[in-house]
Structure 1
Amino acid sequence: MLQQRREPELVPNYSLTGDLLSFMRCGLQYRYQNGSALPPSRPVQMWFGEFIHGVMETAYRTWLASHPPFPWPCTPTPYNTSPAPNRAANDIGTIGDLVEATLAAAGKSPRSRNLRESAYERAERAVNEIGPELFPLIRSAEERVIGTRSLTMPQGARARAQMYELHGIMDVLSSVTVTATTNNMICNAVRAAVPNLPAGAEIIVDYKGSRRPALDDEYWTQGDWQLQMYAWLRSRQPGAAPVVAGVLLYINELAPSGISQLQREVNQGRTDVRPLSGSPDDYQLRTWRPGAAVPSFSAAFRLQRAIRIVPITQPSIDAAVGAFDNVVVNIESCVAREAQHGTIVAHWPAGGDDATCDACDFRHFCPSPASARSTQNYLPPAPSAP
């Protein structure tokens, strides 16, 4: 006898950055941005990060096509005007126009002239200071990875499916290239963190449109987890080599701000990268006072702050995968409670840091003060050290 056909099952599809990390910043903001028909009018953090990522990817493909020498010019189109004509293909202003148009088509735009100018300043630094170090090492750009995992809900809770799908995009380096390349800051940093690079192994890269977090900041741990998850996703792809390290590039460190915050982190021993004692960078940081111009830190110090290497092992991957499984369980629990009770605010955790709240369209009717961090409810123990 033929069995009755079962109802089709929806498998939730999650982006590592667009969903899981967004939910960890603020669950209620995530719900409003991703679960309603109207997009937010000022998704500033989303725009800035995607602009930087888009410029770097387009710049890499431009470099790959014709290898124009560095430094590249940067003549951005003035704010709210038409693109300037007769610029070179490797002009960062030309590249930025393409990226801005793509983001605008998706409803994403900068909230102000100052934010846009800051993005172009940091994009120019990223292309001209990180590009020469990074571009020759890339084996595969914008590698799309996808994988599925089983979904186990707590007793009495119900999910939309028994599995969930996770996807992401990253750049991939080869350990062969990294091992053979000399006088390269990225290669030197990888070799220092992973002294015995296995032949043929891979290294993954991700850009962050933010400053380097303090060691005790949850964003420090989340950055680690993100690379570990990329490594797990990469291992799901046919023919992929094992991933032994990840590189996080904190683009904002190339044109730093928040100097008072850096001073506190250095004085309190809460950062792993500080100026060499007695160096000009050390003097500038120690003597800086609020209201003064941003210190002219050396390129070496700024790049050291921008580059973070995360060793990747099977235990560290397992710990991160378990942590993000818990995040998905929390999201699915919120979805189920909302479906059962028919309300949003009471069933999605609210609260984020100042930057998250300042950029949120929904802050004026948020039930939680900015000091209440939603991430505190969703942070399992940090991955064990490799």
Structure 2
Amino acid sequence: MPKPFKGISIPASKKTIIKRRYSVTQDVVSFRRCGLQYAAFNVHKYAPAQQTQTYFGTVIHQVLDRCHAHFHGIVEPSTKGSIPDNGLILKEEEIHNYFYEVQEAQKDKKTVPLPPSEIIKYFLQVENGLNSKGILAIRSNTRVQAVKILQYFNALEGAVLYPRVRDTEHRLQADQIGHILHGVVDLLVDSIDENVDPANCEMWDYKGSSRVGLNPKDLETYEFQMRVYAYLYQRKYGVLPKKAVLYFLNELDGDTCPSQRPVNALIEVSIEPDEIEVAINEFTKTVNQIEESRCTNEWQAAAPGNISEQDCKSCDLRWHCKTPNGGKGVKPIYP
């Protein structure tokens, strides 16, 4: 009896190459800041014991996103054209007292008092979401500081900035040779003339930190981030944005709201084509370094001075890392 498949050959299937997605901030910026931290929390997915820095930056970003949605009437059409609370600023004592009343009501299983302002209402909505993910404010003062900064920004910038916001959390990506590059821009802001031409649009990124005393390496990383965003923007719209702006929100911190924007709060990042090319080359180089580290499972901690002491102080890996304290490491508590 003849064999039915005699003479038939089936070629081996070609190996499918799956490109990894690399985020500007979550991957490349994180790895450039500290390879050891990146491996622990981004590759191996360990959960950090404390997420104070994650809490502060995320709550600031997400509440401001709700403020923009409030002005544009996205969630509730009746709020369109209005600034949350009409720029009202509660005193620090009032904020403290409200949070205390909420805490006592929850402890006694009573009805929680209504928020005294729209900013606090949005703050609690965001915070509840973060708490469900285990992202908490370690100190009560952190919560009050965040609310104060949000109130100040809303009162100081809202009337001029909110009407110009075209989009928030604007997603951008580009297919590169060996990977997919993607990022999220906090704000796309129309220029004063309200021309909707993409060439007249500005990219803004909020930073939950101060400009004064910023580690030079961190500022360099922020500029790198904005140049990569500019590249992605150009890939999507065919033109570069008009400006790339960093807003350091902690420059607003203080006992009272500033009467005008602090000098150090806003920095415009240069986005010349040659600078963007350097940033993209650095991005690709960093991706290759990450891939190499994945293969060898060898991850290098940041060199002393290339990362802020605050980042090291809150890192769960500090006990067996030589980077903190200017390269001297952390002195063990015991024995």
Q: 3-state SS of the aligned residue for 2:137?
A: coil
Q: Work out the percentage of aligned pairs sharing the same amino acid.
A: 24
Indicate yes or no: 2:301 matched with 1:349. Answer: yes
Q: 3-state SS of the aligned residue for 2:243?
A: strand
Q: Distance in 2 between matches of 1:313 and 1:350?
A: 29
User: 1:47 and 1:86, CA in 2 relative to 1: closer, same or farther beyond 3 A?
Assistant: closer
2:278 corresponding residue in structure 1: 319
Spell out, residue by residue over 1:175-220, the C-alpha distance to the aligned partner (whole angstroms, 9 max, x if none). Answer: 3xx2469xxxxxxxxxxxxxxxx88432111100011156981222
Q: Give the letter aligned to residue 323 of structure 2.
A: S
Contact kept, 8 Å, 1:144 with 1:170, in 2: the verdict is no
Indicate yes or no: 2:106 matched with 1:106. Answer: no
2:187 corresponding residue in structure 1: 171
Structure with max Cα Rg: 2
Indicate yes or no: 2:89 matched with 1:68. Answer: no
1:78 corresponding residue in structure 2: 99
User: 1:313 and 1:41, CA in 2 relative to 1: closer, same or farther beyond 3 A?
Assistant: same
Q: Give the letter aligned to residue 229 of structure 1.
A: V
1:248 corresponding residue in structure 2: 246
Indicate yes or no: 2:41 matched with 1:26. Answer: no
Which 5+ residue runs of structure 2 have no aligned equivalent?
A: 1-8, 74-78, 329-335
Q: 3-state SS of the aligned residue for 1:9?
A: coil
Q: Give the letter aligned to residue 251 of structure 2.
A: E
Q: Give the letter aligned to residue 299 of structure 1.
A: S
Q: 3-state SS of the aligned residue for 2:17?
A: coil
Q: Distance in 2 between matches of 1:370 and 1:25?
A: 16
Contact kept, 8 Å, 1:350 with 1:366, in 2: the verdict is no
Match of 1:332 among 278, 291, 303: 291
2:60 corresponding residue in structure 1: 52
2:235 corresponding residue in structure 1: 236
Which 5+ residue runs of structure 1 have no aligned equivalent?
A: 151-161, 182-197, 257-293, 339-343, 374-386
Match of 1:137 among 160, 164, 176: 164
User: 1:22 and 1:44, CA in 2 relative to 1: closer, same or farther beyond 3 A?
Assistant: farther
Q: Distance in 1 between matches of 2:273 and 2:323?
A: 38
Q: Give the letter aligned to residue 225 of structure 1.
A: F
User: 1:361 and 1:111, CA in 2 relative to 1: closer, same or farther beyond 3 A?
Assistant: farther
1:299 corresponding residue in structure 2: 259
Match of 2:51 among 43, 46, 58: 43
2:207 corresponding residue in structure 1: 208
Contact kept, 8 Å, 1:11 with 1:164, in 2: the verdict is yes
User: 1:215 and 1:118, CA in 2 relative to 1: closer, same or farther beyond 3 A?
Assistant: closer
Contact kept, 8 Å, 1:148 with 1:163, in 2: the verdict is yes
Spell out, residue by residue over 1:139-175, the C-alpha distance to the aligned partner (whole angstroms, 9 max, x if none). Answer: 122211112323xxxxxxxxxxx33433323311223
Q: TM-score with structure 2 length normalisation?
A: 0.78
Q: How many residues align?
A: 297
1:364 corresponding residue in structure 2: 319
Q: Distance in 1 between matches of 2:11 and 2:37?
A: 43
